[in-house]
Amino acid sequence: MITKVGWGGATLAALCLTGLACSSGPSSADAAAGIDSLNARITQAYRNHDPKAYGALFTDSAVFEWPAFNTVRGARGLEKMVEDNWAALKDMDLRLIVATRRFAPSHATEFGAFEQSYTDASGKRSIEYGRYVAVLVRQGDGRWSVDRFFGFEDSTRAVPGHPGR
């Protein structure tokens, strides 16, 4: 049996369908929490000297750009890069200082600064300061991964009074 639907019922149905089609997914607060977790895992990979954990935080199609290196592509490429670069460094730590984030339903852009401290093979302790921008993507399971990264060092400072200086 076909029934007649009035304008009110049709309008309500259209609004409901529009709401479903335009739903934006998780909130910016949820996205920020997920990205904060990603950043904590990046920092932990540095502290643990764990190239596999570091590579796992990037997409398979990730692109990593840094003026001092050739462009690195993919999670496995990033594992290899940090394995080679971290070999001579000890006592590494990383501090990310997020300046701003822009959110979309399936991705985010993060701008910030970093401080990477380490002891080199000669025993010299240094802190490297720089800036970065990262494009982050939300995976199907809700986790966030790095898809594009561009960073540069703006200065390095020896830590005064540290042995080996």
Q: Strands of the chain (E only): list them.
A: 58-65, 72-73, 90-103, 107-119, 125-138, 144-158
C-alpha to C-alpha distance for 97 and 29, rounded to whole angstroms = 18
Q: Residue 51: inside a domain, yes or no? A: yes
| 8 A C-beta contact, residue 98 and residue 86 | no
Instruction: Judge whether 4 lies within some domain.
Output: no
How far are the Cα atoms of 1, 40, 96, 108, 121 from residue 56, in angstroms, in the given order? 57, 13, 18, 18, 27
Range of the domain at 131: 25-158
| The pLDDT value given to residue 162 | 62
Structural domain includes residue 50: yes
Is residue 1 in a domain?
no
Q: Measuring CA to CA, which residue among 146, 114, 149 is closest to residue 133?
A: 149
Residue 86 confidence (pLDDT): 93
Domain assignment of residue 12, yes or no: no
Angle at 27 between CA 22 and CA 33, to 5 degrees: 150
CATH number at residue 126: 3.10.450.50
In a domain, 163, yes or no: no
Residue 20 located in a structural domain: no
pLDDT for position 18 = 41
- The number of domains in the chain is 1
pLDDT lower than 50: segments of the chain: 1-3, 5, 7, 9-23, 165
Closest CA to 104 of 40, 35, 25: 25
